[in-house]
Amino acid sequence: MTATTAPRKTARKATSAPKAKADNRFGDEDPQVLRGLYRDMLFVRRFEERTAQSYQQAKIGGYCHLNLGEEATVVGLAAAMCPTDYLFTNYREHGYALAKGIEPGKVMAELYGRSTGTSKGWGGSMHMYDTATRLLGGYAIVGGQVPLAVGAALAIDYRGGDDVVVCQMGDGTTNIGAFHESLNIAALWRLPVLFLVINNQTGMGTTVERSSAEPDLYKRAASYRMRGERVDGTDVLAVRDIAAELLEGARREGKPALLEAVSYRLRGHSVVDPAKYRSAEDVSAARAHDPIERFGAELSAAGILSEQDIAAVEAEVREGVEAAVAFADASPHPEPSSLFDFTYATPVPGDSRRLPADPLFSA
């Protein structure tokens, strides 16, 4: 997406840029990198807010789930990954697509169902896919991505090489059978995969405590003798650092791992969910943990981000998001005649290409 997620092989690069002040937790961090992380999180935030607005304007249809509140996990993970690493996600993936380096216009065009989108407009919000950046979806079936991610890790292991697969999912997914089967195989065969569980504390409207007999989700890794860690998913640096460590273990030693990132969903499950089941305390806890405000305040206090910087980043980000919207809006819809072109990978006899309103039997 920006310099923050630029190609690299290790989690942190040596730099000759000026160092941040020492009287804060930033130590020898490159201020440029810190500002980049802030900018990338803000981009996801504004992109998602604009997506919600476009949905209300009926520019976007179908299901639509946002990463609002989860920006630190999205950006921290991307900062730890190599660009050649593979990523599988659930349906809440717009931010990951951006952080993986896909052009924002292409991401928005997919949301708008236009042919310039990541999946030619046929996938929509939940099915983004991009081989160039190795985002291998975008899955709507809860847990559907987990066995596929393990399959990709098996392919890497079989062929050789040091790529790693990250498999993102929500807390609710850890109660799906395929999650347990996949972790078992990954551990048994020592596959290079990091399971990233976004514990945003709710699966639709059900809390983790009500749905999970073991609500400390990172502990599930222990059943498979796998390393399990929990991190504050609203702290971009904490996510980046632990993700980098676990990715390195998977890459160098074939040690799969599970990372639970605890965050707070700022809105409902999807754009059409008013989240009436949430208590006032829950909503204010979510606001209090806003990852962007918190990081911005820290950077300001450390003298790394001035008021003018914040205003300039805001302007640049808004301009980028509006450019993405303009690109999407100006892009063509897919041709109806092309609707079935990729239903099957190869031609299939008797493949029905009937469109809605076509006669059931035609001469």
Ligand X SMILES: Cc1ncc(C[n+]2csc(CCOP(=O)(O)OP(=O)(O)O)c2C)c(N)n1
Closest CB to ligand X: residue number:
170
In sequence order, what DSSP letters do the residues of 342-363 get, joined into one string? Answer: TSSSS--TT---PPTTS-SS--
- Per-residue binding string, ligand X, 124-153, x by CB under 6 A, is ----------------xxx-----------
Task: Candidates 200, 234, 263, 331: give the one binding ligand X (CB under 6 A).
Answer: 200
Task: Candidates 95, 105, 113, 170: give the one binding ligand X (CB under 6 A).
Answer: 170
Q: Is 203 in the site for ligand X (CB under 6 A)?
A: yes
Question: Which of 99, 281, 96 shows the shortest CA–CA distance to 198?
Answer: 96
Q: Is 301 in the site for ligand X (CB under 6 A)?
A: no
CB of 223 to ligand X, least distance (A): 19
Distances (CA, A) of 176 to 25, 90, 199: 38, 13, 15
CB of 253 to ligand X, least distance (A): 29
Smaller CB distance to ligand X: residue 105 or 233? 233
CB of 262 to ligand X, least distance (A): 12
Smaller CB distance to ligand X: residue 172 or 296? 172
Task: Candidates 220, 240, 267, 269: give the one binding ligand X (CB under 6 A).
Answer: 269
Smaller CB distance to ligand X: residue 157 or 181? 181
Which string of b and e fits 71-102 if b means at least 16 CB within 10 Å? bbbbbbbbbbbbeebbbbbbbbbbbbbbbbbb
CB of 208 to ligand X, least distance (A): 8
d(CA 174, CA 211): 10
What is the phi/psi pair of residue 162, to 5°?
Answer: -115, 30
Look at phi and psi of residue 344 and say left if phi exceeds 0, alpha if psi is from -120 to 50, else beta: beta
Task: Candidates 93, 171, 290, 298: give the one binding ligand X (CB under 6 A).
Answer: 171
CB of 198 to ligand X, least distance (A): 6
Smaller CB distance to ligand X: residue 133 or 270? 270
- Tracing tokens 């998913």 back to the chain, one arrives at 233
H helix or E strand, kind and range, residue 139: strand 135-139
CB of 197 to ligand X, least distance (A): 9
Smaller CB distance to ligand X: residue 146 or 313? 146
Look at phi and psi of residue 58 and say left if phi exceeds 0, alpha if psi is from -120 to 50, else beta: left
Q: How far is C-alpha 54 from the geometric centre of its chain's CA atoms? A: 20
Distances (CA, A) of 349 to 314, 341, 344, 360, 362: 54, 14, 11, 18, 17
Residue span binding ligand X (CB under 6 A) among the ranges 10-18, 122-130, 165-173, 334-342? 165-173
Binding site for ligand X (CB under 6 A): 90, 92, 140-142, 169-173, 198, 200, 203-204, 269
